[in-house]
Chains A and B, each alone.
Chain A
Amino acid sequence: MSTPVATHERPDAPVRAEAPGCEPPENPVTKFLRTDRLPHIWCAGCGIGTSVNCFARAVDACKIPLDNISVVSGIGCTGRVAGYLRLDSFHTTHGRAIPFATGLKLANPELKVVVYSGDGDLTAIGGNHLIHAGRRNVDLTVICVNNFTYGMTGGQVAPTTPLQAVATTTPYGNLEEPFNLCHLADSAGAVYVARWTTYHVRQLQKSITKALQKHGFSFVEVLSPCPTLYGRRNRVGDGLAMERMFKERCVIKNGAATHDTAFDALASGQIPIGDFVDRDRPAFLQRYNQVMRAQLGDDFVPYGEPEIDTRAEADQFAGPEG
């Protein structure tokens, strides 16, 4: 008599004959995924899924309770990340993931809030929010998947598109110089800034781990292939060819001054990657509670972090009478 076949498997699936105790361990990323939403929408060769894999392993490494972490995305291919993660997740409007995350974080500082979105979303339409969140040092981790184009809408030019690259809205080549996103985030005031690629998965995972552990505004740029809408049009090749390009051209320059980290993705020069910035300065809410305590004394009802006694640190912010 044949072994009964589990109803959820295909009838023609081979029956596994594994000894008890020899089942393969569960993939550590599975618990992060809304498997009922698979298959995902990303193309073959796209790097977004790889970045999600690194992110999930980084969260695991930080041992952040999964009920305590929220992911906020904007619009676009990377904007769909929130929807696939089995966490409290928010798919917001185009460009506005950071201000949404700002409200979410400030209204419940116990939450670990991650913004996960693309280069067009975060640095074109959302560019203003990016720099101001960095300036005010809100305690957020921003993961910016940079694939040099707008994928979801069919491959238009982005603020990250290399000079001369062909996009649907620059059919004769891009005229505008791209942003160096790490320099931008650094200049705005981020306490942690790094750039890796979807080829450098171990480094990326470690870098996201560090970013998650920073108190303040951290920014991780992830260079990623978009074979369908960027690579193919610009003769960079498929996903594998773009990963190979990352492997060959990237040079790790940890601690490099970010103004020296610009690169041209279409040319043949080096692409500086690494952990560029790691510093500390008071995060928004930390300073809020300190300043209010100094100014208002015991009349102040602390916001968000009631158990942290800010009185000792408050002196430095006290006015002349304080």
Chain B
Amino acid sequence: MQADRIGVLTGVHFIDGDFAAAEGAIAAGCRFAAGYPITPSTEVVERLASRFPFVGGLFIQMEDEIASSIAIQGAVWAGAKAITVSSGPGISLMAEHIGYAAMTETPCVFVNVQRGGPSTGLPTLPGQADVMQARWGSHGDYAIIALCPNSPQEAFDLAVTAFNFAERYRSPVMLLLDECIGHMLEKVVIPPADEIEVVPRRLTEKKPGDYLPYLPGDNMVPEMVKAGMGHRFHITGLTHDERGYPVMTAAAQEKLVRRLVDKIRLASRDLALYEARWLDDAEVVVLSYGITSRVVHRAVEVARERGAKVGQLRLKTIWPFPEHLIDQLLGGRVRSIVVPELNLGQLVLEVERTTRGRAKVVPIGHAGGTVHEVGVIVEAILEAAK
């Protein structure tokens, strides 16, 4: 399906990543947002608050992030596409409802414009230390999709993708910006509506009585429903059967939770978005995401000028972690994978796990607050290439 013309600001814009993410959400058909002010993500909801009245949408500033993260799910069950937006401390407060969305299979988008943490940390400065929180932030076993743009343009593009993935997999999706991308002003090209692919809500066409809200359909994903259609359905965060009724048994738990995890895990190849450069002759690969990938871009150029056979793999999808990409890398001549990130070693743990000793993995940790020095990454590449 193509995007609804209403809401798509086709044209060339000079806006920041926060605004671009908001425009992407609107283009994807999002018409409900709930949020609470927090730096550096507030501009996303400010944009939505000013734009929504022109496109038939509604933004409500809730009393806290907890309320915001569940209000959007109420809106989804009334039929809307919905988003909430926050940063570190606010995302921590939303954690329970990320799990609720996963458990109830509520398609919705959570934006986290990452800042330095832990706790109040560095409100106005960048970090990438919420990567593991994005994956494991709520309690219990579940799987989630997380996307990491590295430019305002991509904040727009991946906001659309985030909604599409949410609908396709009936899952919460995290859109992980960072303070740099959120506040960076760049050219953003918004294409005509008919060039933007939008996945509509897959509402059941079954008659009341025939429909089961948790009967797995294609790819283990059940069809959706909304309140007022006559199905008189029940939704609960308790472990439930295909009717949505609570069932307190180990067997029901095994069946449900395994499907919730597998529907995302087994779709990893379809979900994996990435960009690769100079991999053909690479003996060293720098794996990065978000703002750090832009520093890596320069560092790889410098290292190649100095003779290193180094390539770059930039992940746009970090969860589910694209294990097959690591396997592909290691099928060739790659000896080392260098992983710079604005944290003290988070996604590198996944790289180490999937490498399984087949290559040397070199983390370049950084506690956040600014980006890496190009020289630090160049040195690490040259050292790894020796």
Partner-B contacts on A (CB < 8 A): 34, 37, 66-68, 70, 72, 82-83, 86-93, 96, 98-108, 110-111, 128-129, 132, 288, 292, 296, 299-304
Give the size of the chain B interface in residues (CB under 8 angstroms): 48
- Pick the contact of A99: B54, B67, B227, B234 (CB < 8 A): B67
B208, closest chain A residue (CB): A67
A41, closest chain B residue (CB): B246
User: Does B145 sit within 8 A of A, measured CB to CB?
Assistant: no
Could you name 24 residue pairs across A and B whose Cβ atoms are closer than 8 Å? Answer: A67-B228, A67-B229, A82-B234, A89-B233, A91-B237, A99-B62, A99-B67, A101-B74, A103-B78, A104-B78, A106-B32, A106-B58, A106-B60, A106-B71, A106-B78, A107-B76, A107-B80, A110-B228, A129-B63, A132-B67, A292-B53, A296-B53, A299-B53, A303-B56
Given known A106-B60, A111-B227, A296-B54, contact A92–B234 (CB-CB < 8 A)? no
| A91:B56 contact, CB within 8 angstroms | no
- Pick the contact of B70: A67, A92, A108 (CB < 8 A): A92
The 10 closest A-B pairs by CB, nearest first: A103-B74, A104-B74, A103-B71, A107-B78, A99-B67, A107-B75, A108-B78, A91-B236, A103-B75, A301-B56
Given known A103-B72, A104-B78, A108-B227, contact A128–B63 (CB-CB < 8 A)? yes
User: Does B79 sit within 8 A of A, measured CB to CB?
Assistant: yes
User: Does B230 sit within 8 A of A, measured CB to CB?
Assistant: yes
| B55:A67 contact, CB within 8 angstroms | no
| B66:A104 contact, CB within 8 angstroms | no
| B70:A107 contact, CB within 8 angstroms | no
| Bound form: Cα–Cα A100–B73 in Å | 6
User: Does B267 sit within 8 A of A, measured CB to CB?
Assistant: no
- Pick the contact of A302: B6, B56, B76, B79 (CB < 8 A): B56
Which residues of chain B are within 8 angstroms of A98 by Cβ–Cβ distance? 67
| B53:A100 contact, CB within 8 angstroms | no
Which residues of chain B are within 8 angstroms of A107 by Cβ–Cβ distance? 31-32, 58, 74-76, 78-80, 82
A80, closest chain B residue (CB): B246
Which residues of chain A are within 8 angstroms of B203 by Cβ–Cβ distance? none
- Pick the contact of A299: B54, B75, B82, B230 (CB < 8 A): B54
Closest chain A CB from B25 CB (angstroms): 15
Which residues of chain B are within 8 angstroms of A303 by Cβ–Cβ distance? 52-53, 56-58
Closest chain B CB from A210 CB (angstroms): 23
* Chain B positions 220 through 242: 1 when the CB is less than 8 Å from some CB of chain A, otherwise 0: 00000011111111111110000
| A102:B54 contact, CB within 8 angstroms | no
- Please report which residues of chain B, range 69-108, place their CB below 8 angstroms from some CB of chain A when the two chains form the complex: 70-80, 82, 96-97, 100
Known A66-B232, A132-B62; 7 more pairs at CB < 8 Å: A88-B231, A92-B237, A96-B67, A108-B228, A111-B78, A128-B67, A288-B58
User: Does B313 sit within 8 A of A, measured CB to CB?
Assistant: no
Which residues of chain B are within 8 angstroms of A304 by Cβ–Cβ distance? 58
- Pick the contact of B100: A82, A92, A104, A129 (CB < 8 A): A92
User: Does B281 sit within 8 A of A, measured CB to CB?
Assistant: no
B64, closest chain A residue (CB): A128
Given known A88-B233, A296-B53, contact A100–B78 (CB-CB < 8 A)? no
Interface of B is mostly: mixed
A97, closest chain B residue (CB): B70
| A96:B58 contact, CB within 8 angstroms | no
- Pick the contact of A103: B32, B64, B96, B228 (CB < 8 A): B32
Given known A67-B232, A107-B32, contact A72–B74 (CB-CB < 8 A)? yes
Which residues of chain A are within 8 angstroms of B245 by Cβ–Cβ distance? 34, 37, 83
B108, closest chain A residue (CB): A103
Closest chain A CB from B264 CB (angstroms): 21
| A104:B56 contact, CB within 8 angstroms | no
A303, closest chain B residue (CB): B58
Which residues of chain B are within 8 angstroms of A34 by Cβ–Cβ distance? 234, 245
User: Does B34 sit within 8 A of A, measured CB to CB?
Assistant: yes
Given known A93-B100, A96-B66, contact A102–B56 (CB-CB < 8 A)? no
B100, closest chain A residue (CB): A93
Which residues of chain B are within 8 angstroms of A103 by Cβ–Cβ distance? 32, 34, 70-76, 78, 82
Closest chain A CB from B343 CB (angstroms): 29
| Bound form: Cα–Cα A91–B234 in Å | 8
Which residues of chain B are within 8 angstroms of A111 by Cβ–Cβ distance? 78, 227-228
Which residues of chain B are within 8 angstroms of A92 by Cβ–Cβ distance? 70, 100, 237
| B74:A102 contact, CB within 8 angstroms | yes
Closest chain B CB from A188 CB (angstroms): 11
Which residues of chain B are within 8 angstroms of A96 by Cβ–Cβ distance? 66-67, 70, 97
Instruction: Name the residue among B227, B231, B235, B238 with the largest chain A CB count within 10 angstroms.
Output: B227
A288, closest chain B residue (CB): B58
Which residues of chain A are within 8 angstroms of B6 by Cβ–Cβ distance? 301
Which residues of chain A are within 8 angstroms of B31 by Cβ–Cβ distance? 107
Which residues of chain B are within 8 angstroms of A88 by Cβ–Cβ distance? 227-228, 231-233
| Bound form: Cα–Cα A88–B79 in Å | 13
Which residues of chain A are within 8 angstroms of B226 by Cβ–Cβ distance? 108
- Pick the contact of B232: A37, A86, A93, A104 (CB < 8 A): A86
| Bound form: Cα–Cα A86–B230 in Å | 11
| B75:A106 contact, CB within 8 angstroms | yes
Which residues of chain A are within 8 angstroms of B231 by Cβ–Cβ distance? 88
| Bound form: Cα–Cα A110–B76 in Å | 15
| Bound form: Cα–Cα A107–B74 in Å | 8
| Bound form: Cα–Cα A37–B234 in Å | 12
| Bound form: Cα–Cα A83–B342 in Å | 45
Closest chain A CB from B179 CB (angstroms): 27
| A102:B60 contact, CB within 8 angstroms | yes
| Bound form: Cα–Cα A301–B4 in Å | 14
| Bound form: Cα–Cα A100–B70 in Å | 5
A293, closest chain B residue (CB): B53
| Bound form: Cα–Cα A301–B31 in Å | 12
